[in-house]
Chains A and B, each alone.
Chain A
C-alpha cells in the first residue's frame, strides 16, 4: 500500500523498502477540458543537486533536451506533449545505487511550457501528482497529490529524493514558482 503524503512530509524510501535500488518516478496531471485557448504542455525536469543545493553542471539537469545524466542512472523516458490519457504523463527511471556520490538531492519539478505566452498556470491544471514505484515490481510506494496548493504558479517543485544516513528519503515539497523552468534553473545555480 502506497504512503500518501501531505505537503511538507518526509518519508523513508530505501529504509522501509530494503533492497530497493531501481525506481520509477511517475508524474501526472489533467489539463484543460475546455475549448479554445492554447493547448497545455507540461514538462517534468529533474535537478541533480549537490549538498549545497546547487546543480554543478548542465548534464545534471534532466529535462526534455537532456534525457539522462552522464552515467545514465537518471533517465527521463520522454516528453508527453498533451497530458491526455490515464496514468503517468511523464516518467523518470532512477538507479539509486548508481547515482553519483556528489548528488545529494534529486528534485522533481513540473513546469508549464510557454506559460506566459499561453496565459497558463497551475490553477488551470488539476489532479497533479507524483508517485514513486518500484521499477521491478511496479508497486507504488509513495504518492503525493498536489491538490489545492497551487494556482497562479507556473512551476512547481513537487518533491525531492535526498540522502540521509546512507539511505534515500523523499520530501513532499510542493512549492510553487512564478517564473517557470527558467526561474527554477536560476535557483539551482545554472
Chain B
C-alpha cells in the first residue's frame, strides 16, 4: 500500500499478527551529499523522555529497535519488535538529516520509507517522499504511532532548515554545544556539523549542560583555541561484524571560529609545507524568517576579496573590482577565482593562497562586500570556509550583522614564524574600503571602481 504525504494508514489493524517490523529507508543523491538516518522514540507528548530515545549511529539499539546499515535495496534499516515496545513509547519518528547543513533536500531524490513484515518479508506500506523540498536539511519522513491499541503510520515528509539540532529540539532533545562558547550565535543554527564532542585526551573547558547528547560521528575534533590536529579522514562503522557496512568517508573535524578574536593556526602537513589554502565564501538567498528561498526576491551579490601585505612591504588588494585577480605563482601568491554573482553556485567565491610562499606573506585581510543588492547580511547568511589539504576546515559564520554597512572584514590571516598562518575571526562591518584599510592600518589610497 502506498501512502501520500499527510496520509494516516493502519498498520497492524490491516495486518493482523504483524509484530516484527522491518523498516527500510533509501534515497539517491550525489556522492558529496551525506545523509544520516535516525529514529526518535516519543512519548504521548511528542517528546523523547531521555537521550537514549534517539536511535542513530551512536546509539544503535535498545530492547525493541535496532538500527542497521542496509545491505540490499535499502540504505538503512530499523528492525522493530512492536510487542516489545515499552508502553511509554507512543510514537516512533523516522528522520533523515543532511550531515552538511549547507545542503538541502533539493539535492536528495527518491527518498522513501517502507515497512515490511519482518517475518514474511512482504512490503505492507511504502511512502515515497517526492521532490517537494526547499530549504529543509532535516526531514521527518513519517511517524509510527499507537492508536486504539494498534499501530498506524503517518506520512509526514516535512522538515526543518536548522538541521539535526532543530529536529532534536522539536523532539525535546538538547544538543551539546561546542565548548568554545555559544554566545552570539542566535540563528540560523551556526554549527556546520552536529555539535561534535572533544576527544577524551584534549583539554577542554568544563561543560555545564548535563542533559545533552553527542551527535558527533566520532569523538574526534579540534578545538578553536588550540592547534588543530590532522583529522582521521575515514570512519568505519563499528557496528557488529555481521552487517556489511561500507566505510563512511567523512570530514570529521570542522572548526568554527565563533567569537570575535577566536584564532587558530593552520596545520603543517608531514612534508612541512602548508600547501594550497582555499578561502571559500558562500551565502544563501533566503527571504525572511520562513526560510523560503526567494525565487522572486532580489538576489545579493557578495564579492570575496582580500587586502595583502607582503614581507617586503608591498601591499595591495585582490578583488574582482578593477580585475585585480592576483596570482598564485607570482606575488602576492594569492588568487581570486571567478565571480559567482548569484550565490547559488555550490562553490561560491574562492580565494587561493599559495602556502609554500608563507615566508613572503605578512598578513592577509579577508573581507567581503555587497556588490549588488541591499546590505542585508542576515539574509545573506554568509559563511567562509578556510580549507587546506590534510587539515580540518575552519569555518567563520557571518552571524553577526550590521545591515547599514555594505562591507565586512571576515578574517585576518597572519604569518606565524614564517612557518604557518594563524586565522582570526573578525566579522566587523564597514562602509567602504578606505574605512577598512584605516582600521587595520593598511595605509593604501582608494578610488572608486566597478566590475568589467
Contact = CB atoms under 8 A, between A and B. Distances in A.
A, B in one complex: yes
A119 B290 contact: no
B132 A119 contact: yes
B161 interface: yes
Question: Contact size class for A?
Answer: 10 to 19
Contact of A123 (B8, B133, B134, B292): B8
B161 A152 contact: no
Nearest to B293: A36
B162 interface: yes
A152 B134 contact: no
A36 B105 CA distance: 10
Given A35-B136, A36-B136, A151-B6, A123 B159 contact: no
A18 interface: no
Among A32, A39, A148, A150, chain B packs the most CB atoms within 10 A around the CB of A148
Instruction: Tell me if A's interface is mostly helix, strand, loop or mixed.
Output: loop
Nearest to B292: A36
Given A119-B132, A123-B154, A123-B155, A36 B161 contact: yes
Contacts of B132: 37, 119
B159 A151 contact: no
A149 to B, nearest CB: 9
Given A34-B140, A36-B135, A37-B134, A122 B6 contact: yes
Given A123-B155, A148-B147, A34 B160 contact: yes
Nearest to A34: B158
Contacts of B134: 36-37
B154 A37 contact: no
A16 interface: no
Given A39-B290, A123-B154, A34 B136 contact: yes
B4 A35 contact: no
A13 to B, nearest CB: 29
Interface in B394-432: none
Nearest to A119: B132
B7 A35 contact: no
A23 B7 CA distance: 34
Contacts of A35: 135-136, 159-162, 166, 290-291
Interface in B1-23: 4-9
A77 interface: no
Interface residues of B, number: 26
B291 A152 contact: no
A106 B127 CA distance: 38
A34 B140 CA distance: 9
A21 B132 CA distance: 48
Contacts of A36: 133-136, 158-161, 291-292
A119 B157 CA distance: 11
A124 B5 contact: yes
Interface string B170-195: 10000000000000000000000000
Among A35, A124, A148, A151, chain B packs the most CB atoms within 10 A around the CB of A35
Contacts of A152: 4, 6-7
Nearest to B145: A148
A33 B160 CA distance: 9
Nearest to B9: A151
A34 B135 CA distance: 11
Contacts of B9: 151
Contacts of A121: 4-7
B13 to A, nearest CB: 12
Among A120, A122, A123, chain B packs the most CB atoms within 10 A around the CB of A123
A151 B147 CA distance: 14
A32 B5 CA distance: 12
Interface in B120-162: 132-136, 140, 147, 152, 154-155, 158-162
A51 B166 CA distance: 52
A151 B157 CA distance: 13
A151 B7 contact: yes
A150 B292 CA distance: 28
Given A33-B170, A34-B136, A35-B135, A123 B160 contact: no
Contacts of A148: 8, 147, 152
B6 A120 contact: yes
Among B5, B134, B159, B170, chain A packs the most CB atoms within 10 A around the CB of B5
Contacts of B160: 34-36
23 contacts: A32-B158, A34-B158, A35-B136, A35-B162, A36-B133, A36-B134, A36-B159, A36-B291, A37-B132, A37-B134, A37-B158, A39-B290, A119-B132, A120-B6, A121-B4, A121-B5, A123-B8, A123-B155, A148-B147, A151-B8, A151-B9, A152-B4, A152-B7
Interface of A: 32-37, 39, 119-124, 148, 150-152
Q: Top 4 nearest A-B pairs by Cβ distance?
A: A123-B6, A34-B158, A151-B8, A121-B6
